[in-house]
Amino acid sequence: MTDTGMETPLTKNIRDDRTPMTIDEYERAGGYQAVRKALSDMSPKDVQSLVKEANLKGRGGAGFNTGMKWGFVPMGDDAPQPKYLVANADEMEPGTFKDRLLMEGDPHSLIEGMICAAYAIGASVSYIFIRWAYHLSAGRLRKAIAEAYEKGYLGKNILGSGFNLDMYVHVSAGRYMCGEETGLLNAMEGKRATPRAKPPFPQASGLWGKPTIVQNVETLCNVQHIINNGADWFRGLSKTDDGGTKIYGVSGRVNRPGAWELPMGTTAREIIEEHAGGMKDGYRFRGMLPGGASTDFMIDEHLDVPMDYGEIMKIGSRLGTGTIIILDDRTCPVGMLENLEHFFAQESCGWCTPCRDGLPWTEKLLHAIEEGEGEPADLDRLEAHCTWLGPGNTFCALAPGAVEPLQSGLKYFRDDFERHIKDKKCPWR
């Protein structure tokens, strides 16, 4: 990785060509120390409190305090058994490729984070739910898991602590909904990946009806560092209130698309201009989705907002996965939105009405506008869809995510929409 001079706990082990460390190399680099420490010196509740204090927020998109989430898992002797931990490595959010970096480049880091997390919640079985396209990651993880078993970090009575943990790689059969944590549970159970109602939360009734924690890959990769270095250190990595570093990424017409570990709260301007090398020649920045396809557009005026959970929320978007998708001036925003809504409509699970039938309608409207067949009232209809598909109105967060880019697109690129309708054609064609 490029040396930024900053602390990069998540990526420090990752080589430029991403060939992963063997377990010996990993151990030599300080790996599995956190497992030793947690298992010998800390109670599960200690780990939970420490992580909570570190203010590690879920990196899968929702940004919920991880330690707090663990606190809802029933503990003690009469807690239902077995409990499960699942690493959410589905990463199907368009524009997102950060978890792949971690798994390809440093599989042991995920495994170590998972062992620590499993210990904290008393889970005895863990799965890495990985999307099918990540053949390379899956292979490397399998190999690393085998190594970890061999060294006694996994299996029965780990390091003589009495703690048992099995770990398996589960390859998804492909659906965006598999990334939604309850859809993921259904997928793992061999069912249709439709979401489950919450409550009851997976912490109480998850995989096979047992207490379960689903956590994003990047989230998990932080845990061992918190255990090793403490909550204060972790919070100190960040420029803002949300603890730690963050893997940010950029795709689109920039000079150096890629992903970098930076302090939480780095601005989009810094990320795009310094790390991604700025816009490609002949392309101008028009807007960006800050954290995957299901986040609201940010435009020029937002480039200096610190990219963290709280700050981006204030300007009406979400950090999401922290991987930026850039809209340039030679790309039609209506076309881009049509592409996005096509994705969401296709990936709707078909369970709830607004999402199943509302999103295809949205896509059809955008298609009509893009093809020069739009009508002025279509914009009202699009607005209405943005309202009615909002949070709480649909069964899960897919549809609310789907309308985030649309509602902000309608706000920031309204002229473009109107031109399409007035000229009866796409100005970019």
Ligand X SMILES: Cc1cc2nc3c(=O)[nH]c(=O)nc-3n(C[C@H](O)[C@H](O)[C@H](O)COP(=O)(O)O)c2cc1C
The runs of H, that is alpha helices, within 230-349 are 231-236, 268-269, 309-314, 333-347
Residue 420 touches other proteins, criterion: CB under 8 A:
no
Collapsed DSSP state (helix, strand, coil) of residue 298? strand
Q: Strands of 331-416 (E only): list them.
A: none
Residue in 29, 62, 79, 204 binding other proteins, rule: CB under 8 A:
204
Q: Are 350 and 357 in contact (CB under 8 A)?
A: no
Shortest gap between Cβ of 188 and ligand X (angstroms)?
13
| Interaction residues for ligand X, span 164-183 (CB under 6 A) | 176-177, 179-181
Part in contact with ligand FES (CB under 6 A); list of ranges 185-193, 298-306, 349-357, 407-415: 349-357
Which is closer to ligand X, CB of 26 or CB of 134? 134
Contact 58, 219 (CB under 8 A): yes
Listed ranges 78-86, 161-169, 327-335, 395-403: which one lies at the site for ligand FES (CB under 6 A): 395-403
| Helix/strand/coil for 376 | helix
Nearest residue relative to ligand FES (C-beta): 355
Question: Is 120 within 8 Å of 213 (Cβ atoms)?
Answer: no
62 binds ligand X (CB under 6 A): yes
Q: Does 61 bind ligand X (CB under 6 A)?
A: yes
Shortest Å distance, C-beta 355 to ligand FES? 2
343, 412, 413, 417: which one binds other proteins (CB under 8 A):
343
- DSSP assignment of 226-241 equals HHHH-HHHHHHTSSSS
Please give the single-letter amino acid code of residue 189. Answer: E
Q: Considering beta carbons, is residue 195 or 333 the nearer one to ligand X?
A: 195
Footprint on residues 393-412 left by other proteins (CB under 8 A): 393-395
Determine which residue in the list 234, 285, 351, 417 makes contact with ligand FES, applying CB under 6 A: 351
Near ligand X in 394-413, by CB under 6 A:
396-398, 401
Instruction: Pick what 62 binds: other proteins, ligand FES, ligand X, none; C-beta below 5 to 8 Å, kind-dependent.
Output: ligand X
Residue 60 contact, options ligand X, other proteins, ligand FES, none, Cβ 5-8 Å cut-off depending on partner type: ligand X
Distance, CA of 112 to CA of 196 (rounded, Å): 29
Q: Kindly state whether residue 92 participates in binding ligand FES, applying the rule CB under 6 A.
A: no
The DSSP string of 44-82 is HHHHHHHHHHTTPBPTTTT--BHHHHHTTS--STTS-S-
Choose the contact partner of 251 out of ligand X, ligand FES, other proteins, none; CB within 5 to 8 A by kind.
Answer: other proteins
By CB under 8 A, tell whether 356 contacts other proteins. yes
- Of 111, 355, 369, 386, the residue at the interface with ligand FES (CB under 6 A) is 355
Rounded Cα gap, residues 427 and 429, in angstroms = 6
Q: Using CB under 6 A, count the residues that bind ligand FES.
A: 11
Q: Does 327 bind other proteins (CB under 8 A)?
A: yes
Subset of 167-196 contacting ligand FES (CB under 6 A): 195
Site string for ligand X, 31-60 (x = CB under 6 A): ---------------------------xxx
Closest CA to 194 of 184, 206, 183, 205: 183
Judge whether 40 and 17 are in contact, CB under 8 Å: no
Closest of 243, 274, 281, 282 to residue 258, by C-alpha: 274
Q: Which residues contact 243 (CB under 8 A, 6 or more apart)?
A: 54, 55, 56, 57, 231, 234, 235, 237, 264
Which partner, other proteins, ligand X, ligand FES, none, binds residue 399 by CB below 5 to 8 Å per kind? ligand FES
Residue nearer to ligand X on the CB measure, 193 or 271: 193
* C-alpha–C-alpha distance, residues 245 and 8, integer Å: 7
- Considering the complex, state which of residue 227 and residue 365 has its C-beta at the smaller distance from other proteins: 365
What is the enclosing helix (H) or strand (E) of 326? strand 323-328
Q: Helix count (H) and strand count (E) of the chain?
A: 18, 8
Per rule CB under 6 A, is residue 406 in the interface with ligand FES? Answer: no
Residues 6+ apart with CB under 8 A from 295: 289, 317, 318, 319, 320, 401, 404, 405
Contact positions vs ligand FES (CB under 6 A): 195, 348-349, 351-352, 355, 394-396, 398-399
Write out the residues near ligand X by the rule CB under 6 A. Answer: 58-62, 64, 66, 88, 90-93, 176-177, 179-181, 214-216, 219, 396-398, 401
